[in-house]
Structure 1
Amino acid sequence: MSVSPLVVVHRDAQVLAASVAARLVTRLVDAQAAHGTAHVVLTGGTVGTAVLAALAQSPARDAVSWPHVHVWWGDERYLPAGDPDRNETQARQVLLDSLPLPSDNVHPMAASDDPAGSDVDAAAERYADELARVARAEGTGRDAVPAFDVLLLGVGPDAHIASLFPEMAGVYETDRTVVGVHGSPKPPPQRVSLTLPAINRAQEVWLVAAGEEKATAIGLALSGAGPVQAPAGAVSGQRATVWLLDRPAATRVPPALIRVSSP
């Protein structure tokens, strides 16, 4: 099912981060009211981390029943545990370690020094197994991923999302939910990433981006470019696909697509 994207433009990156944090609280509370638990998929990068930092500072965060939230990642740099460049490390530092999250509800991708892993492809297989295990336990295993309530994605200046880069093998994947990435054009070269089939199983997908350097990629993705050229353009949530941008990042978005713009 294709969902027409909603484009929301905010004044600047700081307002964007605060707004996404507030929106995330509301979405998690609504999910918990509907079915008791909530599944969120985090993203890294400057904006993704800023959103988590804004959430950490928000009094509204206490409206969420954190013991009933499952935390996942859309991608990860295949680096040793605790490396400052890992998305998990950054998320724990700015938010997760301050929340009453059960350890079993936090699902990081394997680190490169994990004694149970051997390489990046094995790490991808293990994460796919973990997704399937939780999905089966919750009775949502038809597509081998849990019922993600909201999945956050950053957008690169080349229109990549997660660690799915234009013209690389990951964008062609149609069966697996997680892949190992080799030779990433952005360091480090090895990564683990959800695939488009897994991403597009989320109820809502939010693409969050700030900065003029992202504008061309966003315009390309919203113009109907295919996944090989612009992976961001192939994202579609089951219920909603929301682009959350600041003004510089939105300069190439056709005005007719912008539904909301803050003053």
Structure 2
Amino acid sequence: MYHQTIVKTNAEDVATAAHDWLIETIQETIASRGRCSLALSGGSTPKRLYQIIVESSLDSLDWSRVDLVWGDERNVPQDHVDSNYKMVREAWLDRLDPTKAPQVPRIFPVQISVNAPERAAAEYELQLRRVLDPDQKLANDFPSLDIVLLGLGDDAHTASLFPETEALEETKRLFVANYVPKFAAYRLTLTAPMINAARNVAFLVCGVSKRPAMEVVLHGPRHPNEYPAQLIEPKHGRLLWFVDAAASPES
């Protein structure tokens, strides 16, 4: 596993550096594989990254060759203020000109069924397989996303893999509904094995409140049931951390 930490001065510089890496990686992936799959994250720093794409990179590549999926989602309608899809749509997708096909990616949001989150997760798992493994060559294995964007919570959760929750034990599913007791609610999320099958995984982490989590994930004792981000170790891919100085344990 290739592992690199990039420390920047502030959140804006983190978003810019992550954007530049993302565009280059998408370009390389399209050149070598013809298409690129990208799993999106919620959060303020990814939101700024999506805005930078609109501001500077709509003509940098053929976005119609990019498949957007969601790394996790709240169990709320797509127009709800807490929806990750709504955030991505407002920061990026709603600002596209649909008449300019090369600027418009293929979009695969989670189809939420608020009263049946397990069903929604199972249906999205099938959608992921259709997108990532259209020839059904990997029916008993994990297909590889090209790029996964992740955040890190103060409690060391990532995606919607929260401490002491059932999804941390998952070894076969790609995408699950994960009940989170502290919210008394379900979240829908990629599983750790699915993330670890990706070719590129990038964390975007900003703010002094994240420093203790960064310290324990990178340097602390291994207790992934308490610190879920410790589970993220791509088997054959690259792992990058884009971090601001406030969040970096080394600063």
Aligned residue pairs total: 245
SS of the residue 1:62 aligns to: coil
Query: Aligned residue for 2:109?
Result: 108
Query: Aligned residue for 1:20?
Result: 18
Tell whether the 8 Å contact from 1:76 to 1:88 is kept in structure 2 after alignment: yes
Distance change >3 Å, CA 184–CA 68, structure 1 → 2: farther
Query: Aligned residue for 2:242?
Result: 244
**1:176 CA displacement:** 0.9
**Cα distance in 1, alignment partners of residues 34 and 12 from structure 2:** 31
What TM-score do you get using the length of structure 2 for normalisation? Answer: 0.90
1:1-263 paired onto structure 2 within 5 Å: 3-58=1-56, 60-99=57-96, 100=101, 105-112=106-113, 119-137=116-134, 141=138, 145-185=142-182, 187=183, 189-223=185-219, 224-237=221-234, 238-250=236-248, 252-253=249-250
Structure 1 window deviating more from structure 2 (144-153 vs 30-39): it is 144-153
**1:45 CA displacement:** 1.1
**Cα distance in 2, alignment partners of residues 73 and 135 from structure 1:** 13
Distance change >3 Å, CA 184–CA 205, structure 1 → 2: farther
Tell whether the 8 Å contact from 2:156 to 2:213 is kept in structure 1 after alignment: yes
Segments of structure 2 that go 5 or more residues without pairing to the other structure are: none
**Cα distance in 1, alignment partners of residues 48 and 128 from structure 2:** 26
**Cα distance in 2, alignment partners of residues 74 and 184 from structure 1:** 20
**Cα distance in 2, alignment partners of residues 144 and 93 from structure 1:** 34
**Cα distance in 2, alignment partners of residues 166 and 49 from structure 1:** 24
**Cα distance in 2, alignment partners of residues 57 and 39 from structure 1:** 21
What TM-score do you get using the length of structure 1 for normalisation? Answer: 0.86
**Cα distance in 2, alignment partners of residues 15 and 188 from structure 1:** 35
**1:134 CA displacement:** 2.2
Give % identity: 29
Distance change >3 Å, CA 61–CA 27, structure 1 → 2: farther
Amino acid at match of 1:37: R
**Cα distance in 1, alignment partners of residues 36 and 218 from structure 2:** 29
**1:67 CA displacement:** 0.7
**1:179 CA displacement:** 1.0
**Cα distance in 1, alignment partners of residues 245 and 85 from structure 2:** 28
**Cα distance in 2, alignment partners of residues 26 and 103 from structure 1:** 18
Tell whether the 8 Å contact from 2:143 to 2:194 is kept in structure 1 after alignment: no
Distance change >3 Å, CA 131–CA 19, structure 1 → 2: same
Superposition CA RMSD, Å:
2.2
SS of the residue 2:193 aligns to: helix
